[in-house]
Amino acid sequence: MLLNLNQIGQIALPVRDTDRAEAFYETVIRLRKLYRFGDLTFFDCAGVRLLLEKTTDPASFRPQGCIYFRCADIALTVAELERRGVAFTHPPHLIAAMDDHDLSMAFFTDPDGHTLAVMQEAPKGYQPGSSPPGPAASLPPHIG
C-alpha cells in the first residue's frame, strides 16, 4: 500500500464560544461557512476544512498553534482587516528574504486568542500596497 499523507483535509481549533468564533471567521475573515452541527462549525479554506469546536473543558482551554492565510498584497489585506476591527499584534514585516522572493507576515489573534497571520510571498522588489485600485487590488476569496 502506498501511503500518501501530503494533503491536509481538516484543521480543528477549540473555541470557548462557538457563536462568537463563527461570527469572527465568517464576517471578519470572511471564510465560506460550510455548515454547523451543534457546537461544531465548519469553514472552507481553499479545500481545507477549518473546524471550530466548542471546548468541553473551559478551565483548561489554551490557544493553540497558528494559521497562516496567504494574501496577494499584505498592506492592502492588513488595511482591510483593520477596517473590519482586527488589531494586529505584529504589523507587516519582512520575515525572510529568499533568493527568488520575499516573505512578509503580519500577526493577530482571533476572539479565543489563537494566533492568526497573513502572509505574502512576493517577487523580489515588489512593494506591498502598490497595486492599482480596483479588482486587482481586492482581497483573495479566503480573506475578502
Q: Are residues 24 and 80 in the same domain?
A: no
Q: Are residues 34 and 100 in the same domain?
A: no
Q: Are residues 68 and 46 in the same domain?
A: no
Q: What is the mean pLDDT of the chain?
A: 89
Q: Are residues 14 and 29 in the same domain?
A: yes
| Domain boundary residue, one of 45, 60, 75 | 60
**What is d(CA 115, CA 60) in angstroms, rounded to the nearest whole number?**
18
Is 3 within the bounds of a domain? Answer: no
**What is d(CA 33, CA 104) in angstroms, rounded to the nearest whole number?**
28
How do residues 24-75 score in pLDDT, each as one tens digit?
999 999 999 999 999 999 999 999 999 999 999 989 999 999 999 999 999 9
Is 78 within the bounds of a domain? Answer: yes
Is the pLDDT reported for residue 114 higher than 90?
yes
Is 1 within the bounds of a domain? Answer: no
Is 75 within the bounds of a domain? Answer: yes
* Percent with pLDDT over 70 in the chain: 88
**What is d(CA 99, CA 14) in angstroms, rounded to the nearest whole number?**
38
**What is d(CA 109, CA 88) in angstroms, rounded to the nearest whole number?**
8
Least confident of 8-12, 112-116, 130-134: 130-134
Confidence of residue 112 (pLDDT cuts 50, 70, 90): very high
Which residue segment(s) compose the domain that 110 sits in?
Answer: 63-139
**What is d(CA 92, CA 110) in angstroms, rounded to the nearest whole number?**
17
Which CATH number does the domain housing residue 134 bear? 3.10.180.10
Q: Please, what is the end-to-end C-alpha distance for the chain in angstroms?
A: 41
How do residues 91-101 score in pLDDT, each as one tens digit?
999 999 999 99
